Every structure is written in structure tokens, then in C-alpha cells.
Amino acid sequence: MKYSGWPEPGELVVSEVTEVEDFGAFVDLVEYEDKEGLIHVSEVASGWVKYIRDHVREGQTVVCKVLEVDEDSQQIDLSAKDVNDHQRQEKIQEWKNETKADNWLSRELEDDEVYREVAEALIARYGTMYEALEEGAVRGEEVFKDAGIEGELTETLAEVARENINVPYVEITGYVDIETTAADGVDDVIEALNGVEVPEYEEADGDVEVEIEYVSAPEYRITAKAHDYKTAQRAVEDCAEMARERVESLGGRGEYHEEPHTSEA
């Protein structure tokens, strides 16, 4: 979806060069409806530009910074030299992501009016449609309800998010001290740790993975991977609590802590 209205000074915009003259390059602002801009030759590149076509050419995609907007004269002045490599790469990736989100939603929401209403609601709440879908892939329908979308649309959008967004895992680590003075204490510790089962969380979207590793007696590392921080943190704490309760039932002692007590080489 292309934005209506005008860009703001200081904003980074993706542009396609449509015409190159000695005094500058005309560009189409691909994210905006019917908006064109001018990159003056002095703003094409740092230093003196002898031949402008050594720096820009028709059909080239350029990330520019908006210098000035004059709505009365329909003029947008842009600068390419004021955009560093990091900003350029980040903006291009954001634009590519938003283009993908645009395609996913427009394909699913065939009614143009419904699509535009949904897109505008997501952008208003989350900044971009792609970011909204990223959130939706983790949290589900609640994300779209938070944007003011109602009814079956929330379920449809959650499905679009789950089908198209690869949800990153969050990894959380905690530690538990497990020890016992019993003659068969080693066996008790092993039994306590083997008895730990990963809980099932209703709010979790996808599997929760837990790994328990020996660090140095009596300390063990618990690592949980989940699609959101709260679930991963809760899994670490719950598994530590299971181990503690089990070893204490066998006459031992257990204690959870977030930082390692021993040095990990």
C-alpha cells in the first residue's frame, strides 16, 4: 500500500530514478501515492560531481533523505549523500519487508476498501504492516484486536502472520544448585533432574525447548527457548522449581539463581 499525504523533512524514503539531467535527478517516491522529488546535483554524492550519471541512472533505486517539502508547489527536495550505508541497508530491508506484507494482505483481503482500512489500522498502531504481522505471529489475534480490528478478520490476519513470518526464538538461561549429603546423593541428583518435564503453556505459540547442563557441582544450567521472552523465562523458573522440589523430597537442597555462581570458561 502506498501512503497518502506527504513525507516529513528528515524522513528516509525509497525512490526510483525516472530522469537524469545535468542539474539533478528526478525520482518517484515508491512508498507514496503520486509523489515525485528532485535530488539536486549537489545532493547526489559527497564532493564535487563532475558527471552526474556516474552516480545515478534511470531505473536505479535510491534511498534519500527528505530535505524540504513544499506542498503548494508540489516539490520535494531530497538528498542521497546524507544517507549512510547502514541507513540505506536498513531502509531497503524495511521497504522489502513492507512490500512482502503488502502482497500477503492484499492477496488475502480481496476487498480493496477492507484491505486499506486494515493496513491503515496496522500502520497506525505498529508503524508498519510487517511489524504488526511479526507481532501477530507470536501473540496471535490479540495483536490485531489491539489495532482496533474486529470480528473474523483478526483470525484471518493471525493466520496470514503464522503462515508467512518465521518467528524467532528467544533464549533464556538460569541456574539451579542441586545437592544432597546422602550416601547415594549422585543418584538423587540425577533422579531430580531426570524428573523435570517441560510444562505446557496455553499462551505459548509453538514448542518450548528446555536443556539442562552440568556446570560445576552443585550448579546446573537451564536454558529455555520459546517464541516470547515471558514463556522462556517462566519455563526456566518452572523447571528449576521441579528439580528443587524433587531433590528436597529426597532429603537434598535446591536453589534457583539467574547468574552463575561458578566461573564458566
CATH of the domain at 41: 2.40.50.140
Q: Domains in the chain: how many in total?
A: 3
Write out the residue range of the structural domain in which residue 160 sits: 87-164
Domain end residue (candidates: 132, 164, 196) = 164
Tell me whether residue 93 is in a domain.
Answer: yes
Model pTM greater than 0.85?
A: no
Helix (H) or strand (E) run with residue 96 in it: helix 85-108
Secondary structure (3-state) at 152? coil
Tell me whether residue 38 is in a domain.
Answer: yes
* pLDDT tens-place values along the chain, 265 residues long: 788 899 999 999 999 999 999 999 999 999 999 999 999 999 999 888 989 999 999 999 999 999 999 999 999 999 999 999 999 999 999 999 999 999 999 999 988 999 999 999 999 999 999 999 998 887 789 999 999 999 999 999 999 998 998 877 788 899 999 888 777 778 888 888 888 888 777 655 557 889 999 888 889 999 998 877 788 888 999 999 999 888 888 888 889 998 887 655 4
- The DSSP string of 8-44 is PTT-EEEEEEEEEETTEEEEEETTBTT-EEEEEGGGT
For residue 78, give every residue at least 6 positions away whose Cβ sits within 8 Å of its Cβ, in sequence order, or none.
13, 15, 27, 37, 38, 39, 43, 64, 65, 66, 67
